Amino acid sequence: MSDPEGTPGAEPDPTADLQKLMVGGFRFWFVGQRWEWSDEVARMHGYEPGSVTPTTELLLSHKHPDDRRHVQDLLDHALHSAGSFSSRHRFLDTDGAEHTVIVLADRMFDSSGAVVGTEGYYVDLTQNFEQVRREALTDSLSDIFESRAAIEQAKGALMLVYRVDADQAFELLQWRSQQSNTKLRVLATQLVAEFGTLHFDPQALRREFDHLLLTVHNRTTSGPDG
């Protein structure tokens, strides 16, 4: 999702085998408050891909009433600070079913290096991760045993920042491993190593950790677990 003029999901998707996780991409341009979302995010909200044009008003209308103000405040902050929009919140799809999602995002730049918006992923925590977890454990069991400490510490960081349980933290870590084409143990080790550099201010920590999680693979030299 490095090209801000592209369409989320248009490039080859290394998360294709993780569609059961319901991970989808989005982009939000500050000028004109223009949104793009991937087919997966449209389906999370109950829409067939291409059937609606996402807008701030449409997205806010789906938010759980208890979380709508929180999300609106985060969007306002992103617009005024030229920062990223990221959150853990609930929304209701077109059938009224409740979804709990983590939105992981970072700043989006144009070709001149100016910040033009925010881009990232919706990760639906309401899906059943157990099958993927078993597959991941089978594929990389030896590495997990060899690197248990780093992986458990990385899971702990994810649990702290995103308020998820241990299984969901593992799935987030495994998703980033596969999506970034980086070995799980290497990604976890690098994540733990850089976690201590973050500022533990409640507002800054989430934004900084989102950036760390979405970019940490760039500072490793590993391929995927396999």
Q: Are residues 21 and 117 in the same domain?
A: yes
Looking at the structure, tell me whether residues 147 and 78 fall in a common domain. no
Question: Residue 222: pLDDT band by 50, 70, 90 thresholds?
Answer: low
Supply the range of the domain harboring residue 199. Answer: 130-219
Instruction: Catalogue the E-assigned strands of the chain.
Output: 23-29, 34-37, 87-92, 98-109, 115-124
Distance of CA 13 to the CA centre of its chain: 14
Is the pLDDT at 147 greater than 60, yes or no? yes
pLDDT for res 4: 46
Question: Within this chain, do residues 20 and 116 fall inside the same structural domain, yes or no?
Answer: yes
Q: What ranges make up the beta strands (E) of 44-167?
A: 87-92, 98-109, 115-124
Q: Are residues 145 and 199 in the same domain?
A: yes
User: Sheet containing 98-109: which strands, arranged edge to edge?
Assistant: 34-37, 23-29, 115-124, 98-109, 87-92
Q: Is residue 32 part of a domain?
A: yes
- In a domain, residue 106? The reply is yes
Do 136 and 176 fall into the same domain? yes
Write down the pLDDT at residue 61: 97
Neighbours of 16 (CB within 10 A): 8
Q: What average pLDDT score do residues 74-84 get?
A: 86
* Cα 125 to Cα 185: distance, rounded to the nearest angstrom: 23
| CATH number for position 104 | 3.30.450.20
pLDDT for residue 213: 87
**Residues 35 and 116 reside in one and the same domain:** yes
Tokens found for residue 50: 């291409």
- CB-side neighbour CA atoms (13 Å) of 175: 27
Mean pLDDT of 197-222: 79
Residues 71 and 45 in one domain: yes
Task: Give me 134's structure tokens.
Answer: 């078993």
Q: CA–CA separation, 38 vs 36, rounded Å?
A: 7
**Is the model's pLDDT at 225 over the cut of 50?**
no
Residue 100 CB neighbour total at 10 angstroms: 17
- Lowest pLDDT segment from 30-44, 174-188, 206-220: 206-220
Tell me what the pLDDT averaged over the chain comes to: 81
How far apart, in whole angstroms, are the C-alpha atoms of residue 106 and residue 85? Answer: 7
Does 169 share its domain with 196?
yes
The amino acid sitting at 186 is V
In a domain, 88, yes or no: yes
pTM (predicted TM-score) = 0.65
Q: What is the pLDDT of residues 91-144, one digit of tens each?
A: 999 999 999 999 988 899 999 999 999 999 999 988 644 444 454 444 445 554
Same domain, residue pair 120 and 160: no
DSSP 196: T
